[in-house]
Chain A
Amino acid sequence: MNWHSWMFWGFVSTLLMTTMEAGAQAVRLTRVDFPFMIGTVFTTDRDRAKIYGFLAHVLNGWAFSLLYVLAFESWHAASWWRGALIGAVHALFVLLVVMSIMPGIHPRMASEQSGPTATRQLEPPGWFGLNYGIRTPISVFLSHIVFGAVLGAFYHLR
């Protein structure tokens, strides 16, 4: 495995994905603010939550890029479309699995079953994240596909 290539391109593709997600929010493709959502796991301070969430999101993306790279290595091939394919599966996993279990794992998120409580007041994502905007799945797919495509295109196999 090419560790240097993974570290660099994993980081670059994560930054690109984060930027795309922020861009999708700015152009009103979705309301979801992933750094805020992740950061509120750690704090109730909105400003700090965004900073903590951003750092956690970058570290998380970097770690996930390792799985992409392992897939490339096992295929003995890396290309933009292979990366994009993994990105699409990744996005599907996020929308179908992560979003649905989020109220259970996020300490401040309400669930649709029991509603908000004194400690859990954040809006749950709903199926496919649709509570955060009807085009949320589009933005999640796009950002993850670009993430994988960049990684696949530029990662150098050992």
Chain B
Amino acid sequence: MAFSQRDEQPRNSSAAHEWPRIGDYAIIGDCRSAALVANTGAIEWLCWPRFDSPSIFAAILDRDRGGTWKVSPRATDILRTQREYIAESNVLRTTFECRTGIVALTDLMPVSSERGKRSVLTPDHEVLRQVECLAGEVDMQIHFEPRLHYGAGSPRLKRVGAVGISFVCGDGVYYLRSSVPLELHSDTATAAWTMRRGDTAQFCFTYGEESPVVIPPLGDWSRKRIEESTLWWCQWASKAEYDGPYRDVIVRSGLALKLLSYAPSGAIVAAATTSLPEQLGGSLNWDYRYCWLRDASLTIRALLGLGYRAEASSFIEWMLTATRLTQPRLNILYTLFGSESTREQTLPHLSGYRDSRPVRIGNAAQHQLQLDVYGEVLDAIAQYAFHGGTFARSTQRLLVEIGKHVASNWDQPDQGIWEPREHPQAHTHSRVLCWVALDRLISLCKKGHVKDVPLDDFCRERERIARQVHERAWNPALNSYTSTLDGQDLDASLLLMAYYGFESADSDRMRATYAAIRQTLRANDHLIYRYRSGPDEGAFGICSFWEVDYLALGGGTVEHAQRLFEDILQYKNDVSLYAEEIDPRNGNALGNFPQAFTHIGLISAALSITERLKGQKQLAHREEGAGEKAA
């Protein structure tokens, strides 16, 4: 691990206005909420009590109004910064090499087992920070500036004796404890002090809605919490059943995925943030703190592929429960507990990341029609069943109802996987995924997992869809499948036709389509765009991993797949995290961060390569591959 030079910023603006790059953030979390920590030592994004709650720190979206909590050496003293997660955990360690010494900042949101929670009282929500001086003498500073409800207001901080500094917001109460005396202003708390080799300072920030809230002590207690949390994450990571050449990156992606999961319901949010731009200074800024059903198939493949059956089971359970109010119709996204997301609104008082306006909360895409979600959900269900999962009769009936809904509606135009806010079209990917939905139900019926499936009807509709795609989505002039029926444009989702088993990866048509995609969507030597018809944006992270997946599934040689995979790995940040997109010109992350979809794609691609290297049966979510995996 090498020291990296700090990002050069224009020095004419005040320090408070310097924007870290999106990749300069790392994430900490407790499977309920998450915080983004910049490599400057500042927490610039935190929403409590849930991922989709209003923020308490949001400097990532507005340097002046968002709110931040910085613990760091004086900026002018820092020579180099180095970051890592401690072992296979989500406990972050940032080391600052300064002119006069070295300090290490440890950041985490403590976690513990259910058994551990019963044996000691722990805060509902907590961020714990510890600074240790490793060498020399370093002048440190803390700047604690919480801001309420996405920077809309300032809290009134008050000192509660020796308990700490507290403030109230909405339904809950926040406490800040510090081992360093803090100077209290009306809405900020600050301190400046000097640390010498061997010195330690600790800070904890808690939130609770039910009094008396738990306020942990610092000192040995906090040190123990750091050790226990690190151990908890490491034990979770050690359960990964992956035995291949990419264990480090695959486990790190698994840890990111686990961190983005919401333990009380089993949901997995698409990302921890809202409105980080897909285009700097642009308006492609969306709230991703919800759960997209489109991620279902690849999520289950990643979780089952790594042996995380409990997490897969929780996710399936969440999916079946969350969609209950709309079944057999499926929305494209749900909240952590399955309700509709809040109405999409813009927050005009926030500048947005590097002036990328507007900042949005809520997501209006929830009302779109995207027929592909049916295939993604039923493919996930099929994978789960073929790995030993079973379903109650009521669930089986529900699955059949979903199938009937697909059989009756697959021919409609929709917004498609990329959810453009434009008029609906007949998307090839949506058609293929409707084919997948019926195909998986037929497989589930044949394997005895689902009863009372109208096989004749489903087989007939499946064939109709296949015929339509083969006849109208293939463009002989382009020698490629196209994004829409009778269309001219290509998009990267066509690569998934092989993953879902609609076309063999090594078929002439898929090879030709791949060649056309490489030519049309090429962003640089390694990355591809998702499409070229929309506004300018970065290369889409998961699409490049789909390319690897396609090659590993037979579209190319395994060496080609490995080479490309390893090239794409170069674009991860220093703590192995990916955003939604990558700027192909400079490799900078773009879009919401970290993005579960990208990490899921990474895991799937690595699994496909490893399966191919080992000569294992691939695509266990399909009927013919089921037996071996299930056994």
Contact = CB atoms under 8 A, between A and B. Distances in A.
A104 interface: no
Interface stretch (B208-216, B368-376, B488-496, B543-551): B208-216
Contacts, number: 96
A123 B214 contact: yes
B296 to A, nearest CB: 31
A150 interface: no
A132 B161 CA distance: 15
Interface string B100-143: 00000000000000000111110000000000000000000000
Interface in B194-247: 208-217, 220-221
B212 A132 contact: yes
Contact of B163 (A36, A45, A116, A118): A116
29 contacts: A25-B210, A31-B171, A32-B211, A37-B212, A40-B121, A44-B119, A44-B121, A110-B215, A112-B161, A112-B163, A113-B161, A115-B161, A115-B164, A115-B217, A116-B163, A116-B215, A116-B216, A116-B217, A117-B217, A118-B221, A121-B214, A121-B216, A122-B213, A122-B214, A123-B208, A123-B213, A124-B160, A132-B211, A132-B212
Contact of A118 (B171, B172, B217): B217
A125 B161 contact: no
Nearest to A131: B160
B168 interface: yes
A33 interface: yes
Contacts of B631: none
B162 interface: yes
Contacts of B564: none
Contacts of A113: 161-162
B175 A123 contact: yes
Contacts of A111: 161-162
B575 interface: no
B569 interface: no
B182 interface: no
A124 B163 contact: yes
Interface string A1-28: 0000000000000000000000001001
Contacts of A48: 118
B228 to A, nearest CB: 14
Interface in A100-143: 108-118, 121-126, 131-134
Nearest to B217: A116
A71 to B, nearest CB: 31
Contacts of B172: 31
A108 B121 contact: yes
A32 B210 CA distance: 6
Nearest to B172: A31
B173 A31 contact: yes
B155 to A, nearest CB: 14
A123 B163 contact: yes
Nearest to A109: B212
Given A31-B213, A112-B161, 8 more contacts: A33-B211, A46-B121, A48-B118, A116-B215, A121-B215, A122-B214, A123-B163, A133-B173
Contacts of B213: 31, 122-123
A54 to B, nearest CB: 14
User: Chain A: interface residue count, which band?
Assistant: 35 or more
Given A28-B171, A40-B121, A123 B217 contact: no
Contacts of A30: 211
Q: In this complex, which of A114, A121, A126 has the most chain B Cβ atoms within 10 angstroms of its Cβ? A: A121
Interface string B500-528: 00000000000000000000000000000
Contacts of A132: 211-212
Interface string B531-571: 00000000000000000000000000000000000000000
Given A31-B173, A44-B119, A126 B160 contact: yes
Given A28-B171, A112-B161, A115-B161, A121 B121 contact: yes
Contacts of B168: 133-134
Nearest to A123: B212
A118 B119 CA distance: 13
Contacts of A40: 121, 212
Q: In this complex, which of B160, B162, B211, B213 has the most chain A Cβ atoms within 10 angstroms of its Cβ? A: B211
Nearest to B220: A118
Nearest to A106: B212
A31 B217 contact: no
Contacts of A123: 163, 173, 175, 208, 211-215
Interface string B278-312: 00000000000000000000000000000000000
A31 B161 contact: no
Contacts of B160: 112, 124, 126, 131
B118 A44 contact: yes
Given A28-B171, A124-B212, A115 B162 contact: yes
A46 B117 contact: yes
Contacts of B216: 116, 121
Contact of B118 (A25, A33, A45, A108): A45
Contacts of B118: 44-48
A32 B177 CA distance: 21
Nearest to B221: A118
A32 B212 contact: yes
Nearest to B117: A46
B215 A36 contact: no
Q: In this complex, which of A33, A112, A116, A133 has the most chain B Cβ atoms within 10 angstroms of its Cβ? A: A116
Nearest to A124: B163
Contacts of B166: 131
Contacts of B171: 28, 31
B163 A31 contact: no
A132 B210 CA distance: 8
Nearest to B119: A44
Nearest to B206: A123
Contacts of A46: 117-118, 121
A150 B229 CA distance: 50
Contacts of B214: 121-123
Q: Which 6 A/B pairs are nearest by Cβ-Cβ distance?
A: A112-B161, A115-B162, A31-B211, A132-B211, A122-B212, A123-B212
Interface string B592-631: 0000000000000000000000000000000000000000
Given A44-B119, A44-B121, A123-B175, A110 B163 contact: yes
A122 B210 contact: no
A61 B495 CA distance: 68
Nearest to B159: A112
Contacts of A109: 212
A122 B173 CA distance: 13
Nearest to A30: B211
Nearest to A44: B121
A142 B118 CA distance: 33
A28 B211 CA distance: 12
A133 B211 contact: yes
Nearest to A114: B162
A116 B164 CA distance: 9
A30 B210 CA distance: 9
A116 B162 CA distance: 8
Nearest to A129: B211
